[in-house]
Structure 1
Amino acid sequence: MTDRTPMAERQLMAWFLRRSPASGARRVLPFSAAIGSETGLVRKQNEDRAAIARGRDADGRVFVVAAVADGIGGMQDGHVCASTGLASLFTSLLYQAQRGVPAELWLEIALYAANESVFRDYRSNGGTTLSVLLLLEGGGGYWASVGDSRIYAMDDVLVQLSKDDTIAGQLGKARAGSEQSKLLQYIGIGGSLEVSIHAVEEAQQGMALLTTDGVHFLESANGLLELVVRHAGDFGSCVRRLIELSRWCGGPDNASAVAIPFSSEGLVDDAPLSSSCLDVWDAFGEIRILDLVEVPSARREPFHSEDRSSNPLGAPEGPPPESAESEASNASTSGVVKAKKKSRAKAKAKTKTEGKVPQVQIQFSDKEG
């Protein structure tokens, strides 16, 4: 991350890195979606990030984006890479929507922006998977996946839409050895990234399910994944059961899932009124960002945010476990809050000379997770 990183991206990254419980699942009531994430029994920390965001484009049309990111084990700072990738993705999508860019280009631009953000900080020594689904008011949308996190469609049967970026995945193998399971590409790899964008079919109905490999390893257990999804009853129960089942099966990896309907119905209810606003939910809380707005002089208005974290559905009571990483993340967020006046003054001074540097005011609540 550099001084030129958009402040909205910095803010979202800090929020994704805040201290949180080891496990959480919650419903996103405005459109019947659900998000869950679980550290598991083997990993020391959760390097997954899963979230849903909603905003409006320049024409007032509502869009919703769901995404999961899995920081790559064995490389540097997987949790930071996942947070960076997701924050960059959402920020770029908002900017494209604000500027009137055709919706079919949003995901491609945003995924390359996420790749650049992670690569800039880690030079291919850190990375993350990223699977994302974009839904548009009035129907339709687009999806894409980089790495081996997955996107499924559940209607009559559970179908994997995405193809893993592994040798096994490209060959259509359900099971493979360690060599064939290595990632061929990921967010943060640099200039060799190739992104493929797919349109949501007009007739697509039912549930979209986005998972990290801590969840979809259940697919190898004689159809267990489909069985759980089919009989869950609702999206909230589906997500909660998937991450709990992952833990019951040994919790070998971080497990995260997002369940959301393909239908655009319900997307508009309680949606932001302005294209400058973005609502973001994860398994542990929610935040609203009032982002940058173009003005004729090329200067931008300040943006504000409010952290509306709440006790997530199924989250354990009591304080979350402490760790050096979580303390550092929390301290970083606290530092941003304390320095908001100074940052705003510096941004204002730069705006006078450069014309494109945002003024920022950030406000987090005291409640964590």
Structure 2
Amino acid sequence: MYEGEVNTSRISSTTKPLLRIRYLRRETLSRVASQFALGLLKVMLIDLLNEWVSSTETLRSQQLILNGSVILATDVGLKRQENQDRVAALRTASSKDGRPSFVCLAVSDGMGGMQAGGECASLTIAALFASLLQPSDRGIQDRLKEATAFANQAVYQKWKGKGGATLSAIIVDQRGDTHTSNVGDSRIYVATSDKTNTRRVTVDDSLEEAFGGQGRELVQFMGIGSSLLPRIDALPTSIDSIFLTSDGAHYFDKQVLEQLMLRADHPVRASERIVALARWLGGPDNASVAAVKLSDVVQLMRDAPASFPTIWSGASQLQICTDTDRSLPTNQAAPAAAPESTPEEPRDYRKRGASKRKINIRKKDPGAKQLEIDITTDEGDDENHR
């Protein structure tokens, strides 16, 4: 049923292929064997995505994706030596059986004072996306809830509650249905299409906000185990701009933050200003923002269906394509907006070219009942990366 080997060394430009798997088509397997094969591939996908997310960590990065409708930005700040924030986006392929495709944005902040905060944040993103990439007939709200629980368990199984991360995630499908998931003190803000109102739609899982007590200590986080109760909510159709922020991007006056969101002509510009202001005010913590203009990304999903899933971080992208795709489509990012002025560059600033990785899935021959998955990595410039 399964043959192959997994190379668990870190992804690098010399690792080609990283992973090769051969497995029988699902319909040729018994129900038990089929579930075992899918579970095995899910675990391998988590390992791959975790390696990729970890390898794309940078002190500062910013990327526009999906025709400029989404921005992913992160900044280590001026006080920290390590960036433990992770920011990423997933777009799924259009389904031939009529299931709607969707886009998911996520921000995860590794918890200070616990073990391996950055690693926990990477695994949170990896497991969340690995779950969402699995075939499912369930609605996107249920899938987001299931993926959040799955990511929590993945982090718990590795660190047994001694390491953790926050999670803020939104999922929107091509019909415009939008749902949120939140754990910890990362936040989700929304603005209406008429730019008359902005508000926070999440509650921090802290003693102060969750229970009306005192203190910012978190009472739950990704990796806490079976006691997790994530907040999963639906957003109204009047919402057009969404901002996901780590605590380093929303620590300043909330009225200032709201004005930045309302007065900018686009969520991309607002996000640039939020990250820049967090830095200008001293940059005490890592600051990350993922923002989307919903109407634009929904229209893009309707007008230009994706032929394969793609994942982006602030500095890189991972593409999953079939062998029938003779060439990969051109990047869909709009030209980056002019950057806001910021204070001096952080110490140890690592300038890195954006990287692309591809997963190719092919039949060995037209009559074969086997599929072959090749995962390769390429390094190079990316026009979407700054």
**Which band: TM-score by shorter chain?**
0.7 to 0.9
Match of 2:283 in 1: 251
**Matched-pair contact (CA < 8 Å) for 1:205–1:261:** no
Counterpart of 2:139 (choices 102, 114, 119) is 102
- Aligned-residue offset at 1:105: 1.0
Q: Structure 1-normalised TM-score? A: 0.76
SS where residue 363 of structure 1 aligns? strand
- Aligned-residue offset at 1:19: 4.8
- Aligned-residue offset at 1:3: 8.0
- Give the AA of the match of 1:181: R
Match of 1:189 in 2: 224
Q: Structure 2-normalised TM-score? A: 0.73
- Aligned-residue offset at 1:205: 2.3
Match of 1:361 in 2: 374
Q: How many Å separate the matches in 1 of 2:121 and 2:201?
A: 22
**Matched-pair contact (CA < 8 Å) for 1:31–1:266:** no
Q: 1:282 to 1:3 in 2, by over 3 A?
A: same
Which of the pair is proportionally richer in helix? 1
**Matched-pair contact (CA < 8 Å) for 2:311–2:317:** yes
Match of 1:50 in 2: 87
Q: How many Å separate the matches in 2 of 1:20 and 1:131?
A: 18
Q: 1:192 to 1:12 in 2, by over 3 A?
A: same
Match of 1:135 in 2: 172
- List per-residue Cα deviations over 1:71-98 (Å, max 9, x = no partner): 1011111111111001110110121xx2
Moved over 3 A (4+): 1-5, 268-271, 310-316, 320-323
**Paired residues, number:** 323
The question of 1:198 aligning with 2:246 is answered no
Query: 1:219-234 counterparts in 2 under 5 A?
Result: 219-220=253-254, 223-234=255-266
- List per-residue Cα deviations over 1:301-349 (Å, max 9, x = no partner): xxxx99x8x9987599x9x9489xx9xxxxxx9xx99xx9xxx9xxx9x
- List per-residue Cα deviations over 1:253-297 (Å, max 9, x = no partner): 100011112333223344322xxx321122112221249xxxxxx
Match of 2:319 in 1: 288
Query: 1:265-344 counterparts in 2 under 5 A?
Result: 265-273=299-307, 277-290=308-321, 321=348
Q: How many Å separate the matches in 2 of 1:93 and 1:31?
A: 23
SS where residue 362 of structure 1 aligns? strand
The question of 1:84 aligning with 2:141 is answered no
**Matched-pair contact (CA < 8 Å) for 1:75–1:127:** yes
- Aligned-residue offset at 1:42: 1.0
- List per-residue Cα deviations over 1:197-223 (Å, max 9, x = no partner): 211223x22211110000111234xx1
**Matched-pair contact (CA < 8 Å) for 2:248–2:287:** yes
Q: How many Å separate the matches in 2 of 1:206 and 1:59?
A: 25
Counterpart of 1:157 (choices 171, 182, 197) is 197
5+ residue gaps, structure 1: 292-304, 327-332, 349-354
- Aligned-residue offset at 1:5: 5.8
Q: How many Å separate the matches in 2 of 1:41 and 1:362?
A: 37
User: What's the % identity of the aligned pairs?
Assistant: 28
Which of the pair is proportionally richer in strand? 2
- Aligned-residue offset at 1:183: 0.5
Q: 1:167 to 1:148 in 2, by over 3 A?
A: same
Match of 1:66 in 2: 105
Match of 1:302 in 2: none
- Give the AA of the match of 1:362: I
- Give the AA of the match of 1:196: R
